[in-house]
Amino acid sequence: MHHADVMMNEANNGRFYCVYRVSLWAHAVNCLDRHVHTCPERVALIWERDEPGSEFKVTYRQLLEMTCRLGNLLRRHGVKRGDCVTIYMPSCPLAVASMLACARIGAAHNVVFAGFSAEALAERIRDAQSSTVITVNQGVRGGKLTELKKTVDTAVQSCPTVQQVFVAMRTENPVAMTAKDVAMEEVREQKENQTLIKILMPTAEDRKLYFNKRKQLSLFGCGFITMLWLLHVISDNAQEMQKEDVVCEPAAMDSEDVLFLLYTSGSTGKPKGLVHTQAGYLLYAALTHRYVFSYHDGDVFGCVADIGWITGHSYSVYGPLANGGTSVLFESTPIYPDPGRYWEMVQRLKINQFYGAPTAIRLLLKYGNQWVHKYDRSTLKTLGSVGEPINTEAWEWYHTVVGDGRCPVVDTWWQTETGGICITPRPSNPDAEIVPGMAMRPFFGIKPALMDTEGEVLTSNHTSGALCIAQPWPGMARTIHNNHQRFIETYCQPYPGYFFTGDGAYRSKEGYYQITGRLDDVINVSGHRIGTAEIEDVVNQCSQVAESAVIGYSHNIKGEGVYAFVVLKKGMDVEEMDLSRQLNDLVSKKIAKYACPDCIQVNSRLPKTRSGKIMRRVLRKVVEQDLNGLGDLSTLDDPAAVQEIIEVIVNII
C-alpha cells in the first residue's frame, strides 16, 4: 500500500487506495540519460548569472557528465544510498548537478536556501543528520558577495555529524580551507574543452568587476590579495571532479524511497524536514509543469525562484528536466542592475513561460511601465504567480503590462508539503475562464474540501472554510524527517481523513477557489514562509527582552510584514533605535534577514488569556485598526493590556 494512504488512514477510519510499488531508475536517469539518448545537445539549463548578459548554457550531455562526475566523487568519499547530503548553494548548474548526483546514487538531498544564517543552516544539518555538505566559496547576488563558505564553517562547528564539505568556486576569491574541506575544482582557467571548469569560471565581465573592486583597495592590499590568490592556485592541485569518470552507475530505487528533504516553517517550534519520495513527486512535478504552464518541447521555461525553496525544486529542476525542457536558473534579483532585469532577460533568453512571486511584481509595478515596455516580451506565452496571494492590482499589471493582455496568468496555489501545484487555472483548456486573483480550479487528482469550525465539510458554494485535501495525490510529502508523529498531528489530525493545508479558502458561486491566507501562526514575508513562534524564540533571546508576541500585518510590497510586540525586563530602559538594531542583528544571525521585524512596539504587558496564552488574534485586530472586530475578550486576563496597546498604536499613528 502507498505510504501516503497509510498516513491518511492512520488518523482516519478506513478508506484506502491500493497503489503498486515499483522499482525505478534514479531520477538522474529520468531527468538526464533519457534525453541524452534522444537530444544530447539540447540546452537543459540556462544559468542566468548575477551579471546580466553573462548567461551560461548547459546541454543535457554536459549536465549528465557533471552529475556523473559528482556522483562518483560523492561515492568515492563514502556517501551511500540512504545518506543525506546538505546543499548550501545559490541557483547554479553545479547545485542542480549536486541534487541530481545525490538522486543518482540514492542519497537524499537537503537544499538549504543560501540566505539562511549559520545557525539556521546548522539546525537543518543536525536535524537531517547530514555527514556531507556541498557549498561554494562565495555567492554573488545583486552585485554583492556573500560569504557562503564562511557561513558553512561556522555552522559545521556545531554539527558533529559533518565529516566533509565540498567547496566549489563561484568567484575567484580564495577561501581558507579546513581539514574537512574538499576543493571540487581549481580556480585557474582550464583548456577549452573542459566545460565543467568553464561553467564555474568567471567570464571576462566578471573579472572586470573583480579587478575594478580591487582597484579600490590600497596598492599593498591589492598586491597581497593577488599573492594569496596565486599561492592558492599554485599550491592547490586538487581537481576533484575532473578526476572522476563521466559514467556513474545509477541506483535502482523503490517508488517510495526518499528523494529529498526540504525544511519549512510550521506554526510551532523548529522547522520541519518534509520528506518527498521518488515516483510520485517526479510524476507530479512533471505533469503540473507540462499542463499548468502549457509547456511544449523547445520552450524556454523561466522560473525565477531560488532552488532553496520547493518552487525551485519542482519548477527549475525536476519538472522541466523530467520533461526534457530548457530551464532558466536565476541567480540575481528583480532590480539588479535595474528594475528592467526580468524583462531584459525575457528578451535576451527568449523566455516562453515566466514564473515569479507577487512580492516582486508589486515592487516592479511601483517603478513604472517604462521598464517593461523597453524590452521585447513577444516570446512570453504563460505568466505564473506563486507563494502568496496576488492582489488584483498586481494581477492586472502582470496581465496587461507584462503580458500585453495576451498571456494567461496562472495563480498557482500549493505548498512545500504538496510537492507541486494543486489549485490553479489551466490555460491548456482554452474554454476555461480565469478570474483575477483566484487560484481557480483543482489540478487533476486533487479533491479540495472546505471545513467549518465544527470540522464538518462545507458542501455549498459561496462559502469560506479551512482548506483540506480529501484524498492523497502523487506529489504529497510522506512524512516529517524523524518525526512522523508531528506529521500526523499537523496534517492528518485536525480534520480526520483529510489533509489539512493550514490555509483558509473561499469557494465562489461558480465553484472557483480563492486562497484567503494562513489560519495558523505562519506568515508569508515576501513569499517566504516563517513561523511567528520562530521569530519570537529569537526575540526572547535578547538580553533586555522579557517576552514578545510576533504577528504578520499587511505590507504593500512584502505581502506581510513582521510586527513584534516586546515587553522589556524590569528596570530595562533602552532606546527604540538601539532595540531595533539589536533585534535585527539577532534575527538575521539566528534565522535570515527576511525574518527581521519591520515594526517593534514596546509595551508593559501583552494581552493574555487567564491560562497565560498570548492572544495574537487581538493583536492582529489592533494592528489592522479593526477595533470593532476584537471579538470575544471575556477570556482576557487583564483588559487594560489591550487598552494600553491601542493607545500606543494610536500615538504612533
- 274, 314 in Cβ contact below 8 A? no
Question: Quick one: 415 or 580, whose CB is closer to ligand WT7?
Answer: 415
Tell me how far, at minimum, the Cβ of 386 lies from ligand WT7, in Å: 5
Does position 341 interact with ligand WT7 (CB under 6 A)? The reply is no
CA atoms lying within 13 Å on the CB side of residue 597: 29
Nearer to ligand WT7, 292 or 401 (CB): 292
- CB contact at 8 A, 342 and 146: no
For ligand WT7, the closer of residues 17 and 444 by Cβ is 444
Rounded Cα distance, 84 and 87, in Å: 10
Stretch that binds ligand WT7, among 279-287, 307-315, 426-434, 585-593 (CB under 6 A): 307-315
Among the listed residues 455, 405, 117, 112, the one whose alpha carbon sits nearest the alpha carbon of residue 273? 112
State the binding string over 421-460 for ligand WT7 (x if CB under 6 A, else -): ------------------x---------------------
Among residues 330, 414, 473, 499, the one that binds ligand WT7 under rule CB under 6 A: 414
Residue choice 199, 363, 515, 564 for contact with ligand WT7 (CB under 6 A): 515
* Count of CB atoms situated within 10 Å of the CB of 178: 13
Binding segment toward ligand WT7, per CB under 6 A, in 218-226, 309-317, 590-598, 622-630: 309-317
CA 273 – CA 520 distance, rounded (Å): 18
CB of 251 to ligand WT7, least distance (A): 28
Question: Helices (DSSP H) in 293-420: which residue ranges?
Answer: 310-312, 319-322, 341-349, 358-367, 370-373, 392-397
SS3 418: helix
Size of the site for ligand WT7 (CB under 6 A): 22
Residue 518 sits in the site that holds ligand WT7 (CB under 6 A): yes
> Per CB under 6 A, does 389 bind ligand WT7?
yes
**Cα–Cα distance between 154 and 134 in angstroms, integer?**
14
Q: Which of 311, 323, 326, 327 binds ligand WT7 (CB under 6 A)?
A: 311
CB-wise, 263 or 342, nearer to ligand WT7?
A: 263
Q: Please identify which residue in the block is written with the cell numbers 507541486.
A: 420
Site string for ligand WT7, 528-557 (x = CB under 6 A): -x----------------------------
In the list 67, 131, 264, 278, the residue contacting ligand WT7 (rule: CB under 6 A) is 264
Taking the complex as a whole, the smallest distance from the CB of residue 246 to ligand WT7 amounts, in Å, to 34
CB of 109 to ligand WT7, least distance (A): 17
196-222 burial code (b ≥16 CB/10 A, e <16)? bbebbbbeeebeebeeeeeeeeeeeee
The one among 98, 131, 316, 412 contacting ligand WT7 by CB under 6 A: 412
The smaller minimum CB distance to ligand WT7, of residues 195 and 333, is found at: 333
Which of residues 387, 419, 474, 597 is near ligand WT7 by CB under 6 A? 387
* Residue 337, preceding peptide bond in cis (omega within 30° of 0): yes
In the complex, the smallest distance separating the C-beta of residue 391 from ligand WT7, rounded to whole angstroms, is 11
Which CB sits closer to ligand WT7, 263 or 371? Answer: 263
Contact positions with ligand WT7 (CB under 6 A) in 488-507: 501-503
The reply to whether 386 sits near ligand WT7 by the rule CB under 6 A is yes
DSSP string, 575-637: -HHHHHHHHHHHHHHHS-GGGS-SEEEEES---BBTTS-B-HHHHHHHHTT-GGG----TTBS
Alpha helices in 368-447 (DSSP H): 370-373, 392-397
Choices 207-215, 322-330, 334-342, 413-421; region in contact with ligand WT7 by CB under 6 A: 413-421
Give the three-state DSSP class for 53.
coil
Among 116, 413, 443, 495, the residue binding ligand WT7 under the rule CB under 6 A is 413
Nearest-10 Cα torsion for 99, 104, 107, 108: 40
C-beta of 438 vs 550, nearer to ligand WT7: 438
Residue 300 near residue 108, CB atoms below 8 Å: no
**Closest residue to ligand WT7: CB criterion:** 416
**Considering beta carbons, is residue 151 or 316 the nearer one to ligand WT7?**
316
Residue type, 179: A
C-alpha span between 333 and 335 (Å, rounded): 6
Q: Per rule CB under 6 A, is residue 310 in the interface with ligand WT7?
A: yes
Which lies closer to ligand WT7 via its Cβ, residue 282 or residue 583? 282
Matching residue, cell 539540447:
42
Distances (CA, A) of 143 to 114, 168, 189, 463, 541: 16, 19, 23, 48, 33
- What does the binding site for ligand WT7 look like in residue numbers (CB under 6 A)? 264, 309-311, 386-389, 411-416, 439, 501-503, 515, 518, 524, 529
